[in-house]
């Protein structure tokens, strides 16, 4: 249920506006009681509730008014991101409740949109919605948010939730044909894996027009007669675009960390005296260091330095940079360890880095699934052998001195 | 995306030129500039190795002249497919992209 559904109950969508109504004949309107600045009990009273609030609904901070349309009121949204938006973005980027960062699907407005204003379609992942609306300052337009289950446009298109049928359903639900005179939807180009633009018109009466990839090109696109040069139609993967993905990559890769550290502890304690707690503690710290170096190499350094690390194979990029990281850790403990243990630390960092870098393929806009599968078939065995050899050398090292 | 190239000779993209009507939809939606429409009115795959198998072209070809096995290029998803099989592997449950 969203605010638009109110129209079905007959409150709005009529000639009358939905805002505060003129007093009815014969009723006496009492003045709103003034709040005492220093109440006798409890904390000071908060601000009066916003006239935009509706019983049973949460009001988002980014709604700044209501636009009355022939199909009922439509929330008008701000085009400048505020503190809660930035905090929410940071939260999602770090992978915290990332799959619950959604807004209600339906129609929103920017500026003072009218019957001729363009309709821009996006996902109900709030990060997607925010990156669109922040580019729309001064552009009177409608935003049709479809239900992608909180997934961004491109991934949702791949998963089939940013789909022709879902767009058509939202168009009908929101009674778009009563709100605008034209019959065009501007679609984000990255939604194309899920949407057949040529089938949209049959499904909902609105024609799909492929807009640019990046929201920041929307204005230029509209100003040039809805034509996009190749630069607006090609995916990019700049340093910044890569770095914002790093926290999520790390949050995914370190999920089993506790179990891994426990395994390090147990393996490190195996000694000629059966099990040594002291050795378990001291030696496992070294493997932990190698593991962390591997995660850093594969999930931070590899994405950041992606174009400059040799090889197109991500797992191999991870090996190259992981060897460097592992060598650094080995050098750090050089005086305390032997050859076998050095080998463990080197292999551990390299295997972890290779796996982490290989996982980063899922976050890039240019790796084909066939290619990812090909490199996984070749390199997962390599990573597994490295881990097994690392474990063996680590276990036998205390018995050789 | 000339600066970023992935493994060559793996893409499953195929174009049936006899079916193609040269509408140019594939060229429009491809995020990697893989297609061009030739003067004689047929699309042509110009850069097959640039294809990331997203499936946008096939989804938007009005005459089904394009085929590609689209998929999620995500390591954890592929591991799930290996372990559980294609039907049970779900991208949603493992939070990839």
The CATH number covering residue B23 comes to: 3.30.70.20
The answer to whether residue A227 neighbours chain B at the CB level (below 8 Å) is no
Full residue range of the structural domain in which residue B41 is found: 14-70
Where along chain A do its domains lie?
51-235, 241-399
Give the model's pLDDT for residue B91. Answer: 52
Considering CB atoms only, which of A155, A197, A368 is closest to B60? Answer: A197
The CA-based angle A1-A162-B3, given to 5 degrees, is 140
- The span from the CA of A42 to the CA of A84, in Å, is 27
Give the model's pLDDT for residue B47. Answer: 95
Query: How far are the Cα atoms of A97, A279, A285, A343, A398 from residue A340, in angstroms, in the given order?
Result: 42, 16, 16, 5, 9
| Within a domain: B50 | yes
Q: What is the pLDDT along chain B (97 residues), one digit of tens a residue?
A: 457 899 999 999 999 999 999 999 999 999 999 999 999 899 999 999 999 999 999 999 999 999 998 877 778 788 888 888 777 665 544 445 4
Q: What is the mean pLDDT of chain A?
A: 90
Considering CB atoms only, which of B4, B78, B92 is closest to A307? Answer: B4
Tell me how many domains chain B contains. 1
Structure-token pair, residue A262: 């426990």
The CATH code belonging to domain A51-235 is 3.40.50.11600
The answer to whether residue A307 neighbours chain B at the CB level (below 8 Å) is yes
B55: left (phi over 0), alpha (psi -120 to 50) or beta: left
Task: Name residues of chain A where pLDDT drops below 50.
Answer: 1-21, 23
- The span from the CA of A274 to the CA of A108, in Å, is 67
- The span from the CA of A306 to the CA of A40, in Å, is 63
**Cβ pair B53:A365 closer than 8 A:** no
What ipTM does this complex have?
Answer: 0.90
- Evaluate whether A271 touches A250 at the Cβ level (below 8 Å): no
**Closest residue of chain A to B82, computed from CA coordinates:** A373
Minimal CA separation from B39 to chain A, in Å: 18
What lies within 8 Å, CB to CB, of A374 at 6+ separation is B7, B10
Q: Which pLDDT tens digit goes with each residue over A19-77?
A: 444 545 667 777 776 766 665 677 788 888 888 998 999 899 999 999 999 999 999 99
**Closest residue of chain A to B96, computed from CA coordinates:** A362
Give the model's pLDDT for residue A36. Answer: 62
**Cβ pair A369:B1 closer than 8 A:** no
**Cβ pair A376:B79 closer than 8 A:** yes
Query: Which H or E run includes B91?
Result: none
φ and ψ at residue A228, rounded to 5 degrees: -120, 125
Task: Write the DSSP symbol of residue A102.
Answer: B
Give the model's pLDDT for residue A240. Answer: 95
> Terminus-to-terminus CA distance in chain A, angstroms?
70
The answer to whether residue A384 neighbours chain B at the CB level (below 8 Å) is no
- The span from the CA of B31 to the CA of B29, in Å, is 6
Return the sign of the alpha-carbon dihedral for residues B33, B38, B43, B46.
Answer: negative
What lies within 8 Å, CB to CB, of B14 at 6+ separation is B66, B67, B68
């Amino acid at each position: 249920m969203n605010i638009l559904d109110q129209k079905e109950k007959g409150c709005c969508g009529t000639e009358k506006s939905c805002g505060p109504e003129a007093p009815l004949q014969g009723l006496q309107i009492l003045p709103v009681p003034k709040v005492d600045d220093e109440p006798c009990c409890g904390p000071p009273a908060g601000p009066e509730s916003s006239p935009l609030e509706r019983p049973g609904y949460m009001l988002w901070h980014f709604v700044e008014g209501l636009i009355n349309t022939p199909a009922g009121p439509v929330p008008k949204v701000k085009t400048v991101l505020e503190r809660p938006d930035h905090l929410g973005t940071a939260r999602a980027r770090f992978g915290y409740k990332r799959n619950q960062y959604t807004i209600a699907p339906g129609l929103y407005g920017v500026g003072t949109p009218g019957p001729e204003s363009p309709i821009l379609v996006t996902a109900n992942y709030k990060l997607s919605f925010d990156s669109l609306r922040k580019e729309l300052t001064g552009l009177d337009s409608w935003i049709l948010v479809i239900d992608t289950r909180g997934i961004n446009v491109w991934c949702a298109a791949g998963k089939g939730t940013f789909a022709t049928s879902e767009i058509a359903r939202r168009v009908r639900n929101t009674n778009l044909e009563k709100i605008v005179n034209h019959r065009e939807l501007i679609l984000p180009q990255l939604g194309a894996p899920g949407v057949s633009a040529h089938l949209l018109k049959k499904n909902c009466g609105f024609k799909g027009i492929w807009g640019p990839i990046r929201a920041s090109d929307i204005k230029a696109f509209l100003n040039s007669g809805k034509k996009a040069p190749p630069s607006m139609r090609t995916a990019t993967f700049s340093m910044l675009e890569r770095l914002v993905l790093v926290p999520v990559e790390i949050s995914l890769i370190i999920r089993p960390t506790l179990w891994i550290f426990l395994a390090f502890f147990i393996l490190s304690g195996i000694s000629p005296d059966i099990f040594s707690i002291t050795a378990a503690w001291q030696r496992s710290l070294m493997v932990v260091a190698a593991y962390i170096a591997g995660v850093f190499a594969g999930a931070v350094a590899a994405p950041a330095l992606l174009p400059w690390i040799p090889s197109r194979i991500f797992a191999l990029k991870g090996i190259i940079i992981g060897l460097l990281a592992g060598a650094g850790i080995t050098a750090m403990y050089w005086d305390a360890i032997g050859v076998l243990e050095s080998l463990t630390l080197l292999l551990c960092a390299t295997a972890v880095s290779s796996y982490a870098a290989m996982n980063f393929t899922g976050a890039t806009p240019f790796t084909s699934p066939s290619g990812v599968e090909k490199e996984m078939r070749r390199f997962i065995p390599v990573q597994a052998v490295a881990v097994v050899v690392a474990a063996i050398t680590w276990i036998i090292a205390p018995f050789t001195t | 995306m000339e600066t970023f190239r992935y493994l060559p000779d793996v893409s499953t993209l195929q174009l049936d030129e006899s079916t193609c009507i040269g509408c140019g939809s594939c060229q429009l939606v491809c995020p990697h500039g893989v297609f061009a429409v030739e003067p004689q009115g047929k699309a042509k795959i110009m850069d097959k190795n640039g294809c990331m198998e997203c499936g946008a072209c096939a989804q938007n070809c009005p005459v089904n002249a394009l085929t590609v096995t689209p998929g999620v290029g995500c390591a954890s998803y592929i591991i799930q497919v290996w372990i559980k099989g294609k039907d049970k592997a779900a991208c949603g449950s493992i939070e990839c992209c």
